[in-house]
A and B are shown apart, each in its own frame.
Chain A
Amino acid sequence: MPNDRNREPRALRMSRRRMLKGAAAVLGALALPGKDASAAVWEAFLRRNFREMTARDKARVVARLEKEYEAQFGKRVKVAVTPPIEGVLYGYGLDLHRCIGCRRCVYGCVKENNPSRNPQIHWIRVLQMKKEHGVDLEEAAHYYNPSKVPEKEFFYMPVQCQQCERPPCVKVCPVQATWKERDGITVVDYNWCIGCRYCMAACPYGARHFNWKKPGLPAAELVTETHYLGNRPRPVGVVDKCTFCIQRVRNVPGRYPACVEACPVGARKFGNLLDPESEIRYIIANKRVFILKEDLNTQPKFYYFYAT
């Protein structure tokens, strides 16, 4: 029968294919954590994207991270996975008439969010601009260092993650390690990030920062109340960014972000865009408001305004 004639070559092909599969499996097994690897290593190896995790998966990952951090810093670290609050969309206001460019927000953020001290990572950058030029990013300086601020001829514009409604950084991530949460905060899963830095190239606000080295974070300065998607200590080779202090603002009641609390002049405002009684809604309804690089249609939820 004609079928019999075909059988032998096909069987040969199949066995060759099976052989290759077998070889691949052996090679793969060699790359896997060995016999002496602890359960934690396997757990880390086999874990899923944060968004696909069940509550049990999350609990397991959190337990592993907390153990790792305790070994690393000698301190109990709490890693929360608090979900978004229903009916909340965070919005931020910054009063350019009030800001004096003192950079208290920059260091308030550093203190709260466990970024690398050395090499230095700042999630907030304060731009100094000439009053006569207006908002002109080409003319902006950020290494200014006079003895006192504000200086007469300048105004100041802090820039951090604008928590875009259409975030270009999320669009370009090849592994979906960064995404926008239901409450509008764009987050990064530091254990899923592959460090390609596409998001940094895509962000028009320079809001994303790369951990080129293992973050230098002294144990004494470690904040132990952390969130998985926020201020938990980062590994080397991943991108991090402002999360509106997700570890604070997702609680009920939830504290203001650290930069709001650090601002000595009260230029920084924060609230729920879906609550008509919130101060951010009052600002949008009553003040002169603008968003940065509006023409890019990223739709930031970070509103610069002039209170008077």
Chain B
Amino acid sequence: MRPGRILAAAVAALCLAGGVAAAAQPGAQFPVPAPPFTPGIFPCSDCHKEMKPNATRRELKDEHTDIVLNHAQGQRWCLDCHDTNDRDRLHLVSGRKIRFEESYLLCGQCHGDKFRDWRVGVHGKRTGMWNGEKQYMLCVHCHNPHDPSYKPIPPEPPPVRPDDIRK
């Protein structure tokens, strides 16, 4: 083998190892688009870093009044999912902080069956290549986390009746 080839092989091996390492990171194996934030709302710390966290369970009267919790309301509130001290992160029950891009881990804590199906590509939409790279979507792309039931949409027009085609 010529030295050039050996070098090329070494570089290729390194790249491969790097790829495997990236895939092994939690969350990295599911390529997801950016979460669907309301424009201008993220990072949350833009506003929250000046504010003292108030961990008292209460109804929000001044800000975020557009959010009506219709998702096991009464059993939980904001800071069960949003991290009290780091507003740009969510947290799991274990206390582990996660990025918004990994929010499926949070949803999967309760909806384990859906999470299992989502991971293999059966629950939820996937696009891309059937035999190659796929694009996943986060739970929150279809389900508003504060009001998760899928909302009815207008249907596309029905087919033309044969009678109307002939006219």
Residues of A within 8 A of B (CB): 85, 88, 93, 95, 100-104, 106-107, 119-120, 122, 125, 142-151, 249, 252-256, 260-261, 263-266, 269-272, 279, 282-283, 287, 307-308
Contacts and interface: CB of A to CB of B under 8 A. Distances in A.
A143 B158 CA distance: 5
B128 A142 contact: no
**Chain A binding surface SS class:** loop
A166 B74 CA distance: 55
A263 B120 CA distance: 18
Nearest to A268: B125
B131 to A, nearest CB: 5
Contact of B153 (A102, A145, A260, A261): A102
A263 B155 contact: no
Given A143-B158, A287-B122, 19 more contacts: A100-B153, A103-B157, A119-B160, A142-B158, A144-B158, A145-B157, A147-B154, A148-B153, A252-B131, A253-B131, A254-B131, A256-B128, A260-B127, A260-B130, A264-B125, A264-B142, A266-B124, A272-B130, A272-B131
Given A104-B156, A143-B159, A279 B122 contact: yes
Contacts of B108: none
A151 B160 CA distance: 21
B125 to A, nearest CB: 3
B128 A122 contact: no
B1 interface: no
Give the bracket for the number of chain B residues in contact with chain A: 20 to 34
Contacts of A253: 129-133
B161 interface: yes
A149 B152 contact: yes
Interface of B: 113-114, 117, 120-133, 137, 142, 150, 152-161, 165
B159 A142 contact: yes
B123 A307 contact: yes
Nearest to B164: A120
